[in-house]
Amino acid sequence: MAGTDDVAIVELGPADAQAGLALSTEAHWNQNEADWLTFLNHGIVYGVRSGNDLIATAALLPYSVGNAWISMVLVTARFQRRGIATRLVDACLDAAKMRKLTVWLDATPAGTAVYGPLGFTPTVELRRLRLAHPAPPAATLALSTGDLDELIARDRRAMGFDRGPLLRAFCDRAGSRLVSDGKAMALVRDGRVARQLGPLFADDTASALALVDAVAEAEARPLIIDAVHSQAAFVTGLTAAGWSIERPFQRMRFGRPTTQATEQAFAVAGPEFG
C-alpha cells in the first residue's frame, strides 16, 4: 500500500468491533467494545484493510436536527502518514453532505492542523484530565441517582441538539452511574482503562468540583474527565485536587450551526461522542 490511490474504503459492521478495539487500544485510547458497537450499530464506520487486517477507521455518528459527530479516526502505526486518515474523513464528509448534516469533531493538536484546511471551524477548547489514584476528599457529599430526563435536557441546551438515545444507552450500560446532589449532575461510565466522568452540569463551579470529589471518593479505578477549557476555575480546581492535564482537544465544526447552545457544560461526554 504505497499511497492512497489503491486504498479501498469499505463500510464496517458490528462484527468489526474487536478489530476496531484493537486499533484504539494500540493508540492508547479509552474506548471499550460497547463504544465501538455504538458507532457500528448506530453510525456509519468506514475502514481500510490490508489483507484480512483492519488497519484504519473513521466513524460518522448522526445526532438530531441535522448534526453528526466524526470520530474514531485511527490508522495503525505502520500505515500512518500515507493520507489514509484524510481519505476516510473525506468519506465521512461525503456521507454527511449526502444527508445534509453539519459535522462536529474534537481534534488533538495534530488533528487540528489536518481538519482546518478541510474547512473545519474551531469552536470551544477542552482539556482532558486524569486522576490516576482516586483518594477520599476532605468532606463527603451525599449523592443520589440523577434524573435522566434532566440530564438529556441540559445536554440538549449545551450541545444545541438532542442526544437522548446516546445518553440513555450510556446509562443502561453495566457499571454506569448518573449521580446528582441537587446542584450538579454527571454521568460516570466504564472505559477500557479508566472511568469516564461526563457530561457534567452544575449551577456553579463550587458545586461542580464538589460533585467530582464525591465521585472520586466512590471510585477505585482511574478517572478521566474532558473539561471545558473556558470553565477556568473548574480546571484549576481539578488540578489543585490532584488531577493531571493530559492533552487538549479543539472542538471544530464543518458547516453552519443548526441551533444555538444556551448552556455550557463543565465537562463533555468525551471527544469521540462530543
Counts for the chain of helices (H) and strands (E), in that order = 8, 13
Low-confidence spans in the chain with pLDDT less than 70: 1-5, 134-144
Closest by CA to 54, choosing from 20, 31, 7, is: 20
> What pLDDT is attached to residue 7?
82
List the domain boundaries for the chain.
9-100, 127-268
Count how many residues are written for the chain: 274
Please tell me what DSSP assigns to residue 254.
E
Q: Do domains 9-100 and 127-268 have the same CATH topology?
A: yes
Task: Measure Cα distances from 190 to 34, 140, 156, 196, 228 in Å.
Answer: 9, 23, 23, 6, 21
Task: Residues 9-100: name the CATH superfamily.
Answer: Gcn5-related N-acetyltransferase (GNAT) (3.40.630.30)
Q: Which residue type sits at 23?
A: L
pLDDT at 146: 85
Its CATH architecture, for the domain 127-268, is: 3-Layer(aba) Sandwich (3.40)
What's the distance, CA 126 to chain centroid? 11
DSSP alpha helix (H) spans, 46-147: 84-98, 109-118
Contact 198, 270 (CB under 8 A): yes
> What integer pLDDT is reported at residue 27 of this predicted model?
96
Mark 202-223 as b/e (b = at least 16 C-beta within 10 Å): beebebbbbbbbbbbeebeeeb
User: Are the CB atoms for 198 and 106 separated by under 8 Å?
Assistant: no
Give the count of beta carbons closer than 10 Å to the beta carbon of residue 43.
20
| Confidence at residue 113, expressed as pLDDT on a 0 to 100 scale | 85
Q: What is the pLDDT of residue 75?
A: 97
